[in-house]
Homo-oligomer: A and B are copies of this chain.
Amino acid sequence: MSTSAISHQSNLDAALFRLTLDRQGAQPLQQQLAEELRGLIRTGRHAGARLPASRTLAAELSVSRMTVTTAYDQLTAEGYLVARRGAGTYVAADLPHLAPPAPRRAPPLAAPAPYLPFQPGVPDQRLFPHRLWARHLERAWRHPPPALLARADPFGWGPLRVAISEHLAAWRGLEAAPDQIVITGGAWDAFDLISQQVALRGGAIAVEDPGWPTLHRLLTRRGVTPHPVRIDESGFDPAACPAGTAAAVVTPSRHYPTGRAMPLSRRLQVLHWAEAEGALVVEDDYDSEFRYQGQPLPSLAGLDGLRRTIYMGSFSKLLSPALRIGYLVLPETLVGAVREDLAVTGVRASLLPQPALAEFMASGDFATHLRRMRRVYARRQGHLLAALEAAGAGAALALKPDPSGMHLVLSLCDGQSDAAIAAGAEARGIGPRALSSHALLPEAPQGLILGYAAFEPEELDAAARVLAEVLAQG
């Protein structure tokens, strides 16, 4: 026995002599023992040392022999100990020293922050029929049919795709078969699938400017460079796209964030451009169910007959952003390519909400909710206009009623910086967005995006007063 082996042996014997187990503790004794031994071995000061016979250690610790053999077996399986037939149990000799993990004080988790007044793009989740929805969830999963437990279709739950197909025909003038509909895990997922199709074609992807800043970031993150195209009075202008553009992402029903609807003549121009260039058009139809006069304007994809247009819908604004559920409607020619891509990554959207949402839609509860929210949001828009007027912010600034949407855009006086005002407003606890922060091109238009959908009249009153003060100072 070498000197170091002797010292390792006496180290171990001394350490075991000092070892105590907590008989009142919640952890079983064999687990406590294994943990103590593991800690000792990890110090590196006992390599190669022989452990006492299980009977001996059991007597010393006043535990059953079973407790000791279970702990020895566990550590042997883990590799800390080596059992030599007929010669006893040893600490593994070949373990390099490993420092114990540094103790760390974990910061407490921050509670989720509420949305600031004027935050755009958020529905009022307080008005969501939670009890009804919870009941649909419970019913869908209490006795799930075999199809829900089988190999999931990467395109999503069939009955939900049928319900969406019916919704699109009724609300969006779009005749799409369920087999053209892919359920996605929200915008990130949808644009990931779209980016892949654009990458396969090569060429740039045109985006509206100003536009949705998250879109620029999502595309860039996926290695696709967005090419910003400045919008005019009619919205996106395909004539301004560079040659070789493979796809354009547009918001024809209601340009984000300015709220302009694309006139029919421009819509047709976009479709003719796409046809001539062999390009795809992605219609991001983010909130057009909320139209307050007449029916929602029919979709561009419906006008196109889903020839070159991918239609993108979401439940984030209609129900809740927490669901992370959206969908794409694909031209028939793309169905195969997207199926191939999903075969690479597997199913992506959670199946959990899908049967409940299918029932929620098929039962009519969804349409009832949409109609109700349409009335509520129309009233809130009117309330916001009146509140800004009353606070003295409306008169000086051109702010017109909008026949649709969940936010208004407030123009600013010459020389005012929307970024400075938005920052000042946030410091006062309200969250309007600077229009210029939605543009990539220089000489961005200035304005404030005021979301009103998620806020009660009193919240809008208070926020309008704060905004008027910030505007007066800016």
Binds B, one of A13-21, A128-136, A376-384: A128-136
> Contact between A134 and B130 (Cβ–Cβ < 8 Å)?
no
> Contact between B109 and A161 (Cβ–Cβ < 8 Å)?
yes
Beyond A188-B348, A218-B344, A352-B350, whether A153 also contacts B264 by CB under 8 A is: no
Which partner residue on chain B sits nearest A92 by CB separation?
Answer: B264
Interface flags for A43-86 (1: CB within 8 Å of B; 0: not) read 00000000000000000000000000010011001111000000
How many Å from the CB of A131 to the closest CB on chain B? 6
At the interface, yes or no: A297 with Cβ under 8 Å from chain B?
yes
At the interface, yes or no: A182 with Cβ under 8 Å from chain B?
no
CA distance A100 to B306 in the complex (A): 11
Interface flags for A339-358 (1: CB within 8 Å of B; 0: not) read 00100111111111100000
Hey, which chain B residues are within 8 Å of A3, CB to CB? none
> Contact between B332 and A351 (Cβ–Cβ < 8 Å)?
no
Which partner residue on chain B sits nearest A99 by CB separation?
Answer: B305
Hey, which chain B residues are within 8 Å of A79, CB to CB? 263-265, 267
**Which A residues are within 8 Å of any B CB, using their own CB?**
31, 34, 38, 70, 73-74, 77-80, 92, 94-96, 98-102, 104, 106-107, 109-115, 125-126, 130-131, 133-135, 137-144, 146-153, 158, 161-162, 175, 177-180, 185-189, 196, 214, 217-218, 221, 223, 263-265, 267-269, 271-272, 293-295, 297-298, 302-307, 320-325, 332, 341, 344-353, 403
Q: What 14 new A-B contacts, CB under 8 Å, besides A214-B346, A217-B345?
A: A73-B294, A77-B297, A79-B265, A79-B267, A98-B271, A101-B306, A102-B305, A109-B161, A114-B150, A138-B138, A148-B322, A152-B321, A185-B189, A217-B344
